Amino acid sequence: MVEFVPYDEKIHRAQFFELNVKYVTWIFEEMRVRQNIDVIPSIEQTIREYVEVSLEDLTTVRPPKGIIYVLEDEGKMVGMGALKELEVGIGEIKRMYICPRYRGKGLGKEMFEKLIERGKEFGFSTLRLETADFMTQAHKVYRSAGFKEIGGYSGGEMPEWYRPNCIFMEKSM
């Protein structure tokens, strides 16, 4: 049975790291195939190094400033999603990813709804997210939850050189 579990550094660190490597590898491969962008030379580090650095910031989030959920199936991590404070009153949804075998079952939408609900509980008046333009299925989920496109925002993870290939969205709570 698939369960949504709050991230616990002591229990989940190794699997969470590997799931993020899968996620970033998938993103970079999609960028290469769909947009002819080779990210590795631009970031000047390996995917594993990139993930290690990016997780330093993400895994420090704790309620009420944010939360990370992992999706587990019989002890195996098969998905994730995070919410973190960008600035007072504004949260950002990050790292939404469901392993391919588990897609199409509504788990991504359920994760998204959990993160939105927690954003309300934490008192965020606005939620934001950034997504690659090729993630069209995710865009449908975001729009169905009331997210609207905006011109962009600061504080996100996407590097400046990739921002033209991103869609930025926001929802007032």
* Predicted pLDDT at 70: 97
Q: Which CATH superfamily hosts domain 2-172?
A: Gcn5-related N-acetyltransferase (GNAT) (3.40.630.30)
Amino acid at 74: E
- The pair of three-digit structure tokens given for residue 140, joined into one six-digit string: 């449908």
Position 56 confidence tier, pLDDT thresholds 50, 70, 90: confident
Helix orientation angle between 47-58 and 9-35, rounded to the nearest 10 degrees: 130
- What is the largest distance, in Å, between two alpha-carbon atoms of the chain? 41
Q: Which region, left, alpha or beta, applies to residue 74 given φ > 0 means left and ψ of -120 to 50 means alpha?
A: left
- Could you report the per-residue pLDDT of 115-159, keeping only the tens digit for each? 999 999 999 999 999 999 999 999 999 999 999 999 999 888 888
Give CA–CA dist 119/100, Å, rounded.
26
Task: Quote the strand ranges of 17-158, DSSP E.
Answer: 66-73, 76-87, 90-98, 126-132, 148-150
**Does the reported pTM lie above 0.85?**
yes
28 contacts 40 by C-beta, under 8 angstroms:
yes
147 contacts 171 by C-beta, under 8 angstroms:
yes
Amino acid at 114: K
For the chain, give the number of residues: 173
